[in-house]
Structure 1
Amino acid sequence: MFHSYFFPISYAFMMFPIAALVFTLPFLIVQYRRHGYIHKLRALILYLLLLYLMNAYFLVLLPFPSSRHNAAPSGSIVQFIPLQFIQDIVDGSSIIPEQISTYWSLLREPAFLQVIFNVALTVPFGMFLGYYFRTRWVVCILLSFAFSLSFEITQITGIYGFFDHPYRLFDVDDLITNTIGGIFGFRISIWISGLLPRIEQLDTNIDRAAKRVSYTRRGIAFLIDSMVWSIGFGVLFGFDIKAAFWIVTGIYFMLVPALTGGRTLGKWMVRIRVKSSGNLAFFWALMIRYGLLYWVLLGIHALLLDSALLGHLSSVWNMLIHLFVLLIDLAFFIHLVISIFKKETQLMYEKLSRTSHVISWPEKRLQSDVSSNSPVES
């Protein structure tokens, strides 16, 4: 019986890297916005939760029928009698009440093992609810029941119509045993919470403003900003405006941050902003910063796409220009890699403009965090 569980578990572990890759971007954005930084323990718990959910659903749903057009079940697909599993265990077991030694035969009884599996399936769910999400026991019961109900509905609908007919039984006893498992997990989380760091105190004494803005955080902001910039560029390009690249870049990366205290949409989402430490006016500092990055470094690539500009040059000159641009790209790439490995916070264009990224954490939020972590309230 146990070998039938290894198949879906192995599939869940194989698919986990792909799911984690999809999960990472929204996870990072939420963590940066809600907590201001990434805490390793918080990240570990949430990735373990993702892995657990994948294993739970794979165990319930796999293996699939051999075809989407599966045959209709020959018998009933619903079992509505509560605690029917007790009768099934009694009917299938060889227990003699007066002989305790016969009780070991339960470990070979499929009906009994199925109940144990259904309880164990949702124990981790209750532990996550109790330890990480800090829910009350009533909420844990409701969420554990809803979690189990999602299993049963997914099964009886043939994964919401993907298969022609249901291929698993809707069993009310599964709802009962899964909910009991969630309650057990919740109780376990209470017992072990004293051995683990308290989730609500992970951010105690953390000075977010003093933390270094990582290149991962900047990369996420750049990804979001690139999507917004592309929409603006596409609109102007659709109207056949020749200078669309320069106009959209100037407005979005220079004018907008100057009016919003150094924020673009991407920077706002991950709670960072650009600040100036020089004597220049902030707008001119942004002009130097993003003029070097976008108008010069990326601008030369935009010029290479302009056939009217380079079309009259000989092939030799075209080759030399492309080689020159390639060398600039290579030099910037090496500079970026060195800065990342040395954990330098400023790149070349930032040093020249005397600007840098800082974490943008609201003062009111900071004061609230300090008060919530005070000895009086804890």
Structure 2
Amino acid sequence: MLEPYLFPISYAFMTFPIAAAFFTLPFLIVQYRRHGYIHKYRALILYLFLLYMMNALYLIVLPLPASIHNLPPKAVSYYQLIPFHFVMDIIRETSVRPGIPSTYWHLLKERAFLQVVFNVALTVPFGMFLRHYLRAHWVRCLVVTFMLSLFFEVTQVTGIYGIYDYPYRLFDVDDLITNTLGGMIGLLAAEWFAKILPRVDRLDEHVDLSTKRVSYTRRGIAFCIDWFVLSPFLTLLAILQVPYPFVIGVILYFIILPYVTNGHTLGKWIVRIRVKGQGERLTAREVIVRYGLFYLVLGGLNQLLFIVASSSLSPILIMIYALGMFVVDVLFGIHLLRCMFNRERQLFYEAKSHTTHIII
């Protein structure tokens, strides 16, 4: 009886790392924006919830038909709209005899009873999450769990919204009832677990963001966002044949903009950090030295490699320059790794400019 459930669960666990990889970036951005840092307990709950939702969805839709041109189901109707019809199914199929206690354990092997138990258990973690993480009231839990169950049923009866020619599972109102019941049981279970688990809404009560270190992960996200924004502008400058588009873009975005906004770029603003100098206000010298060394010197030398490679210089000179840049980039990579694993070390352009990152 358990085999039909083990198949989709195994697929959920196998594909979870892929889903987690796509989930991580938006998760980090939302957590940085909302809380200013990443709390391990909050992260654990959200990743467990992702794993749970994948298991729930896979249990609902798997196994899929062999072809999208599947045959219609053998049932007379695609819908079962009689509430509590599962009671009649259990009574009709069970071998339990009310006056004989020794027959009660037979329920644990009977399809109709186990189907009800599965439908209730399916949404118990959902109700627990709503209560423990979102602090949802019982009315909200009731409504949201019902909507989740309705989503499952509609997904099934529409053949995954028209992907398949015919539904391969039926709409059952009893599933709505038992799934919703499971959510409410989960809510009550969360109240019990609340006695031994930390309150999610109180995790940040004694956190001082000014004492927290800005991680390289956070800086890397800001870096990627900034270049995602800047790249189309550099492309436009290149199409318009504006001289030195890289230099112009870096000066406008990474020097003038942070100076005007006191250390902000769009990427840094999104993850709630900024560059800070020796004083409250970032000076022109600090921002020019910081980004000049990193982007105009180190980045500019790498950009120059493309110009040199397409020039009429001797192939030997081009190879020597490319080899030299490879050595420089490797040295910078080693320098970056040393700074990442030693919190006391600063990147060279930070040390020279006397700047650092702070959380805002």
When normalised by structure 2's length, the TM-score is 0.97
1:14 paired with 2:14, answer yes
Q: CA deviation at 1:5?
A: 0.8
Structure 2 counterparts to residues 132-151 of structure 1, below 5 A: 132-151=133-152
Q: Is the 8 A contact 1:155 1:166 kept in 2?
A: yes
The percentage of aligned residue pairs carrying the same residue is 54
3-state DSSP of counterpart to 1:195: coil
**Alignment correspondent of 1:312:** 312
Show the 5 A alignment for 1:90-129: 90-129=91-130
Conservation of the 8 A alpha-carbon contact between 1:345 and 1:356: no
Residues 343 and 27 (structure 1), Cα distance of their counterparts in 2 relative to 1, 3 Å cut = same
Query: After superposition, what is the alpha-carbon deviation per residue over 1:121-172, rounded to whole angstroms, capped at 9, x for unaligned?
Result: 1000011111111000000000110111110011111111111111001000
**8 Å contact 1:124–1:182 — kept in the other structure?**
yes
**Structure 2 unmatched runs, 5+:** none
Q: C-alpha separation between the residues in 2 aligned to 1:88 and 1:22?
A: 42
The aligned amino acid for 1:79 is: Q
Name the counterpart of 1:295: 296
Q: Which amino acid aligns with 1:347?
A: L
**Counterpart for residue 30 of structure 1:** 30
| Equivalent residue letter for 2:241 | D
- 2:159 is aligned to 158
Query: Corresponding residue for 2:351?
Result: 351
Q: Which residue of 2 aligns with 1:271?
A: 272
Indicate conservation of the 8 Å contact 2:276/2:358, yes or no: yes
CA contact (8 A) 1:213 1:359 kept: yes
Counterpart Cα distance in 2 of 1:70 and 1:95 = 38
Distance (Å, rounded) in 2 between the aligned partners of 1:260 and 1:346 = 23
CA–CA separation in structure 2 for the residues paired with 1:293 and 1:278: 21
Residues 1:202 and 2:203 are matched in the alignment: yes
Q: SS of the counterpart of 1:73?
A: coil
Q: Which residue in 1 is equivalent to 2:287?
A: 286
SS of the equivalent of 1:194 reads coil
Could you tell me how far 1:279 is from its partner in structure 2?
A: 11
Deviations 1:214-236 (A, max 9, x none): 00000000010010010211121
Distance in 2 of aligned mates of 1:281 and 1:44: 37
- How far has the Cα of 1:184 moved from its partner? 0.3
Contact 2:226–2:265 (8 Å) recurs in 1:
yes
User: Amino acid of the residue matched to residue 184 of structure 1?
Assistant: I
- Cα distance, 1:310 vs. partner? 6.6
Counterpart check, 1:84 vs 2:80: no
**Partner of 1:145: helix, strand, or coil?**
helix
One-letter amino acid of the counterpart of residue 84, structure 1:
H
Tell which deviates more after alignment, 197-206 or 50-59: 197-206
For residues 80-117 of structure 1, the C-alpha deviation after alignment (integer angstroms, 9 at most, x for no partner) is: 00000000111111232222222222122100110000
* DSSP 3-state at the match of 2:194: helix
How far did residue 243 of structure 1 move? 1.2
- Is the contact between residue 285 and residue 353 of structure 1 (CA under 8 Å) also seen in structure 2? yes
Task: Name the residue aligned to 1:371.
Answer: none
- Contact conserved, 2:255 with 2:288, CA < 8 A, in 1? yes
| CA–CA separation in structure 1 for the residues paired with 2:99 and 2:211 | 70
Q: Distance in 1 between matches of 2:37 and 2:282?
A: 30
TM-score by length of 1: 0.92
1:252 paired to 2:253: yes
CA distance in 2, matches of 1:213, 1:157: 48
- Contact kept in structure 2, 1:278 and 1:355, CA below 8 Å: no
**How far does residue 345 in structure 1 lie from its aligned partner after superposition?**
5.9
1:8 Cα deviation (Å)?
0.4
CA shift at 1:205, angstroms? 1.3
- Looking at structure 2, the residues matched to 72 and 281 of structure 1 have their Cα atoms a distance apart, in angstroms, of 69
Match of 1:367 in 2: none
Distance 2:280 2:204 in 1: 35
Bigger mean CA deviation after superposition, 64-73 or 266-275: 64-73
State the partner residue of 1:58.
58
Partners of 2:173 and 2:212 in 1: how far apart?
Answer: 51
Q: What residue is the counterpart of 2:228 in the other structure?
A: 227
SS at match of 1:242: coil
Alignment partners' CA distance in 2, 1:184 and 1:33: 33
The residue type equivalent to 1:14 in the other structure is M
Whole-angstrom distance in 2 between the partners of 1:160 and 1:168: 12
Q: Is the 8 A contact 1:8 1:63 kept in 2?
A: yes
Given that residues 68 and 163 in structure 1 are in contact (C-alpha distance below 8 angstroms), is that contact kept between their aligned partners in structure 2? yes
Q: Which residue of 2 aligns with 1:341?
A: 341
State which drifts further: 345-354 or 55-64: 345-354
| Distance (Å, rounded) in 2 between the aligned partners of 1:44 and 1:201 | 16
- Alignment size in residue pairs: 359
| Displacement of 1:316 | 2.2
Relative to structure 2, which stretch is displaced further, 102-111 or 184-193? 102-111
* 8 Å CA contact retained: 1:310, 1:318: no
Instruction: Return the offset for 1:276.
Output: 0.8
What SS is found at the alignment partner of 1:168? coil
